[in-house]
Amino acid sequence: MAFLSSRRKRARLAPELDDQDLGRLLKSLLATTRTGTIATTDLCAAQMSRLLDQDPGDWDRRTHRLGVLADYLADSHLPRSWATREPHNASALVLHAWTQLARARSQGRPQDTGDATDACLRAAELAPEDPTPWVVLLGLARTQRWEQSQVFGVWNEVLTRDRWNREAYLNMLGYLTPEEAGSRIQVLEFVDALGARMPANAPCAATELTAQVLQYHSVLGRGGFEALVARNHWSQAMAAQALDRVARTWVQPGFLHHARALADLNLLAYALMAADRRREARPVFEALGGAVTGWPWHTDGDPLTEFDQAQRRATAGQ
């Protein structure tokens, strides 16, 4: 991951993060779809296929790219058209399924996933070594509240193919929260079991800190007095230790090298500022170079505004 200079850069939403090839594809898709020509689907499919076929076996990068494309194209006809034209293309099937999942999540309508499950299973048959069909199926299982035995079965299929898949761990974390199908105890057990065997710089390294931010948001969501003193969450031993474990290492050049490292640094910057650990947040903001993710900043308002204000507070007095 490229760390940028200490000079503050203009904050910008960057779904591609530091994936320049993906960023160029997003811009090209926007320009191409505006033409409205008959050949639009074929041209866009060729562009997406070319990118997704890069770096075979880099499942971390492939998961990142498919997830970003799915969010970007959630309201577009392109994924369905591509899957219809190329029903034996695993990438087309996974993207089609993931866009259905993204759209259902954004609209709060988990039942509107159509043939997404079938598309995942067909993609898994076509590319048995690829974890991404199972990653999407895990998201569908979570959204549709499958039984835990079924969900863990899908999760194990992902891990068989990609041991530290970031998206899979975060999906399981969300599924196990009290707000979904689990409990606080299950979240703690899940995080503890992962921490006991996970490399410190694995793609799923942010699972523990994500759990703490989710709990912090749960306290904020209660409103009243609890929300007023929610910052106290970060002085509790487990939350403080979660921050301590990563605050110094994640900003070291080259320590985090997975595709969504900048998303994890956004999470770290947010948590450090929520804990009022401004001095430690400064190098994190420097490393981000203004690249902003929607979550978790949008919890308190416009993500760009919240990020920029937090960055200003962190650097005040330098």
Give me the pLDDT at residue 34, please. 62
pLDDT category at 113 given cuts 50, 70, 90 is confident
pLDDT of 4 > 50? The answer is no
* Mean pLDDT over each residue of the chain, to the nearest integer: 92
Report pLDDT for 36. Answer: 53
Whether 318 has a pLDDT exceeding 70, the answer reads no
Provide the pLDDT for residue 316.
86
Higher confidence at residue 312 or residue 5?
312
* Percent with pLDDT over 70 in the chain: 95
Local confidence band at 108 (pLDDT 50, 70, 90 cut-offs): confident
Residue 291 has pLDDT above 80, yes or no: yes
What are the pLDDT digits (tens) for 135-178? 999 999 999 889 999 999 999 999 999 999 999 999 999 999 99
> What pLDDT is recorded for position 2?
45
**23-43 pLDDT tens trace:** 999 999 988 766 555 568 889
- What is the residue-wise DSSP string for the chain? -----SSPPPPEE-TTTT-HHHHHHHHHHHHHHHH--TTHHHHHHHHHHHHHTSSTT-HHHHHHHHHHHHHHTTT-SHHHHHHHH-TT-HHHHHHHHHHHHHHHHHHT-TT--TTHHHHHHHHHHH-TT-SHHHHHHHHHHHHTT--HHHHHHHHHHHHHH-TT-HHHHHHHHHHHSTTTTS-HHHHHHHHHHHHTTS-TTSTTTTHHHHHHHHHHHHHHHT-HHHHHTGGGGGGSHHHHHHHHHHHTTTTSTTT--STTHHHHHHHHHHHHHHTT-HHHHHHHHHHHTTEE-STTGGGSS-HHHHHHHHHHHHHTT-
Of the pLDDT bands very low, low, confident and very high (cuts 50, 70, 90), residue 3 is very low
Tens of pLDDT, residues 174-221: 999 999 999 999 999 999 999 999 999 999 999 999 999 999 999 999
